Amino acid sequence: MIEINQLTFGYTKRNILYDALDLQLKEGNIYGLLGENGAGKSTLLMLIAGLKKPLSGSINVGGHEADHGSAEFLREVFFIPEEMTFPNITVSDYISVLSPFYPKFNHQHFIEMITEFGLSEDQKMNNMSYGQKKKVIISIGLASNTRLLLMDEPTNGLDIPSKSQFRKLVAKYMSDDRVFLISTHQVRDLESLIDPIVIVDNGKVVFNETLETISEKLLFTTAEKVEASDVIYVENGVAEDKVVAMNHSGEPSRINLELLFNAVLTEKTKMNQALPTQQIKY
């Protein structure tokens, strides 16, 4: 569905953010895009959405080059930014203007979603709180039924019940012919939702793996339950030390995405031993 080949991008030619980045995203998956602050997660989403132009390389989305901005490309991509500005009109009026650009937009599904979020079509968008605006744009994105849905920090501004509703709605409106790519630093909000996990660092994709493979190869537990020689990464705690370890027995464990992220960024050699097909690069 999405093929990024040798992507190079920088805001200046002397300040390169991505250097020959390669990434493939397949339909039917909700990808989690992780990276440190400043790693370029938002920029990568904008590049895929065609909002920025690479210095070199290509981004192909469903057979269309992202930076060409063709009508065929634009009707199959929806981008939910972290920050939003809306006009002084009602939700209903906004939808009447926006929905014609998305031929597969489902108005009934949209109404169901904003109702789930406790909103109505009669509300003025510029009078809404940040969280309410986020709920509207999430609902529009899901109801657009585009093949590609890009979300930048979608749970920012949502309270705890709304985050639960968000996870439920994303799972409900995901389908085998769609790709969702969610950039987030709030991994605990999305641990039960995103799969596979993509991690970017120093201008490269350094990790791209499914939860099934991660669970099969790695063990997330406490230090006293594993041999010291199997420990890949350890995080010291007040009560106990949490670790990522090699999983020799195939014993299942609950994946801790924060631990995984830190292990990928700090323990390249050990992670490559545990996941030899991954070849984490820096």
Q: Report pLDDT digits (tens) over 86-134.
A: 889 999 999 999 999 999 999 999 999 999 999 999 999 989 999 999 9
Which amino acid belongs to residue 226?
V
Q: Report pLDDT digits (tens) over 141-159.
A: 999 999 999 999 999 999 9
CB 167 within 8 A of CB 192: yes
So what's the pLDDT on residue 279?
Answer: 53
Residue 280 has pLDDT above 70, yes or no: no
pLDDT-derived band of residue 277, with 50, 70 and 90 as boundaries? low
> In the beta sheet, which residues pair with residue 207?
199
- DSSP state for residue 175 in the 8-state scheme: -
CB 271 within 8 A of CB 278: yes
- What does pTM read for this prediction? 0.93
CA 139 to CA 121: how far, in whole Å? 12
In order of their start, the domains of the chain are 2-207 (3.40.50.300), 210-274 (no CATH)
Q: Report pLDDT digits (tens) over 196-250.
A: 999 999 888 999 999 999 999 999 999 888 999 999 999 988 778 999 999 988 8
CB atoms within 10 A of CB 225: 12
Q: Alpha-carbon dihedral of residues 146, 153, 112, 121, nearest 10 degrees? A: -100
CB 23 within 8 A of CB 2: yes
